[in-house]
Structure 1
Amino acid sequence: MFKTLKTCALRASGLAAVLALAACGNLSQISDKGTTDEPVWPDPVDTTFDTGAYPTLDSLRLMGPGMTKDQVYSLIGRPHFSEGLAGVREWDYLFHFRTPRGDLTCQYKVLFDKDKHAQTFLWKPEACADLLNPRKPAPAPQALSLKGDVLFAFGSATLTAAGVAEVNRVAGALPRQGEASIVVTGHTDHIGSDASNLALSDRRAQAVRNQMISQGIPASSIQAHGMGERQPVVQCANGPRAALIECLAPNRRVDITVAHRG
């Protein structure tokens, strides 16, 4: 009889130890819904999975509420820390990622509800979650070409009334707050000397830049320079001056290139 009582006591003692170990598996206080107000993170040096793993971002993007432990395991593997023996509703991982700025190490936590379905996914640091958002390609630079004869009188670098309205219209569609890099390039035809044409094209570009700044485009976002007659878009045969000026009109222009910053 005494032997039987001793055996039962030992069994009870062993069961208590198992229950105690199981209770140690959850670091955080987890609700039945699989949430926590204060996640507790294990020390990275305590990982049982060597020094962590290099997961694929595609696998992590497939993680979502309602997944079973088996489904989580098939996507990102077993947890990397000692999680206890039974009743565990918290899996912790140590992940490494290759980024353009160098290697990045993140901790990842999965919390399960009372039915052992994954419900909450946490990162430390929180910025690591941004890795799962694929970068959108930067928009292609936007190129605009404004007719020089609308912006300026022939041989002038002072904006006409129509020119002011046209630049204001363009400026109204451009991003503010330094969200884009803008290059304003002035061009002329070949009538006149190279030096005078270069100076005129530069003054015209500066005039457009100044008008854009007056409309709220940050000055630091706009560069302006002149190319003179060096980049013609049409070639015209020599003839009467009036006809030549009209033919060369497409060369007298101001180009605006807008590159959106990522």
Structure 2
Amino acid sequence: MAVALLALGLSACGNVSRNVAEDGSNAQELVWPKPDDVTPMHRGGTFPEIDHLRELHAGLNKQQISQLIGWPHFEEGIWGVREWNYVFNFRDAGSGQVTVCQFKILFDHDKLARGFYWKPEDCARYMNPPPPAPVAKAEPQETTLSTDALFAFDRYSLKDITDGGRAQLDALAARLLDEKDRIAHISVVGYTDRLGSDDYNQVLSQRRADTVAQYLVAKGVPQDVIGAEGRGKAEPVVQCADQARSKLIACLAPNRRVVVRVDTHDRG
């Protein structure tokens, strides 16, 4: 007798929704059972394992679904029907408030899951994996070197680097080598002041940028990640009114510079 009752419970009551499509993709009318009509063992609904819920996908059979989220919560039956219904509870991690959702699975004629529905529809968000945590983008690091301190007046070659300039470049190279594995690219950009012709300033700024890059490579900075560029009198840091030449040269000093920009890989 007990076996007969169990068989009836497993196969009897049929679908709740009307005219479930043969392929299980939809129904002529989705009908939701009342949450209070769950079986006694499912009274109040259950709290599903979110990770298991997210493993549901079309093509699973009923045994596989039961292993993930359990058997249906209503008496529509198990084996002979093409619809399962559940009442699930979800607790909000922030407020602790519980949201009650109904979940429906439609099966095709082979009893493989094909359609998944939520009431209210917004509950579908619980099946979506959480968005990946944003990765903080590494900000480029910039070091500005005064060419007045790096080079003898109007010079640009390695032999023209001053003792103070070598000390600055040695310290910079050491910092770069400490982060060598994270470096994506190093840009060495040379600038001049506005005095002199555009062509002359362009060439001088390029040569000084090339020299700084060569120096860093000689100290062990990987050559394949470093590039040099001259921009002449572009992007001035200060603007100086015309005045006595010596004072004007002193005023324009911040514009005579080499900027070393370091882009690093994001930390994952």
Q: TM-score, normalised by structure 2?
A: 0.51
Given that 2:183 and 2:262 are in contact with CA atoms closer than 8 Å, whether structure 1 keeps it comes out as no
1:201 aligns with 2:178: no
* C-alpha deviation, 1:143, in angstroms: 2.2
Determine the C-alpha separation between the residues in 2 that align with 1:73 and 1:133: 16
- What pairs up with 1:127-146 in 2 under 5 angstroms? 134-146=133-145
* C-alpha deviation, 1:132, in angstroms: 7.1
Determine the C-alpha separation between the residues in 1 that align with 2:173 and 2:243: 38
1:190 aligns with 2:189: no
5+ residue gaps, structure 1: 1-6, 15-48, 51-68, 92-130
1:167 aligns with 2:169: yes
Considering only aligned residues, what root-mean-square deviation do their CA atoms show, in Å? 3.8
Given that 1:176 and 1:216 are in contact with CA atoms closer than 8 Å, whether structure 2 keeps it comes out as no
Q: Does the residue aligned with 2:48 lie in a helix, a strand or coil? A: helix
* C-alpha deviation, 1:244, in angstroms: 2.1
Given that 2:182 and 2:264 are in contact with CA atoms closer than 8 Å, whether structure 1 keeps it comes out as no
Q: Does the residue aligned with 2:220 lie in a helix, a strand or coil? A: coil
Q: Does the residue aligned with 2:137 lie in a helix, a strand or coil? A: coil
* C-alpha deviation, 1:74, in angstroms: 8.8
Query: Taking structure 1 as reference, are residues 194 and 70 closer, same or farther at Cα in structure 2, changes over 3 Å only?
Result: same
The Cα offsets for residues 134-180 of structure 1, whole Å up to 9 and x where unpaired, read as 24121122222111111112211132121111122122222214632
User: Which amino acid is the alignment partner of residue 76 of structure 1?
Assistant: L
Q: Does the residue aligned with 2:237 lie in a helix, a strand or coil? A: coil
Query: Taking structure 1 as reference, are residues 89 and 168 closer, same or farther at Cα in structure 2, changes over 3 Å only?
Result: farther
Determine the C-alpha separation between the residues in 1 that align with 2:214 and 2:197: 26
Determine the C-alpha separation between the residues in 2 that align with 1:181 and 1:194: 28
Q: Does the residue aligned with 1:173 lie in a helix, a strand or coil? A: helix
* Identity in percent: 34
**For residue 71 of structure 1, what is the aligned residue in structure 2?**
48
**For residue 229 of structure 1, what is the aligned residue in structure 2?**
233
Query: Taking structure 1 as reference, are residues 181 and 240 closer, same or farther at Cα in structure 2, changes over 3 Å only?
Result: same
Q: Does the residue aligned with 1:139 lie in a helix, a strand or coil? A: coil
Determine the C-alpha separation between the residues in 2 that align with 1:73 and 1:231: 55
The match for 1:240 among 238, 244, 260 is 244
The Cα offsets for residues 94-126 of structure 1, whole Å up to 9 and x where unpaired, read as xxxxxxxxxxxxxxxxxxxxxxxxxxxxxxxxx
Instruction: Give the number of aligned pairs.
Output: 167
Determine the C-alpha separation between the residues in 2 that align with 1:74 and 1:249: 62
User: Which amino acid is the alignment partner of residue 71 of structure 1?
Assistant: P
Determine the C-alpha separation between the residues in 2 that align with 1:191 and 1:73: 68
Q: Does the residue aligned with 2:185 lie in a helix, a strand or coil? A: strand
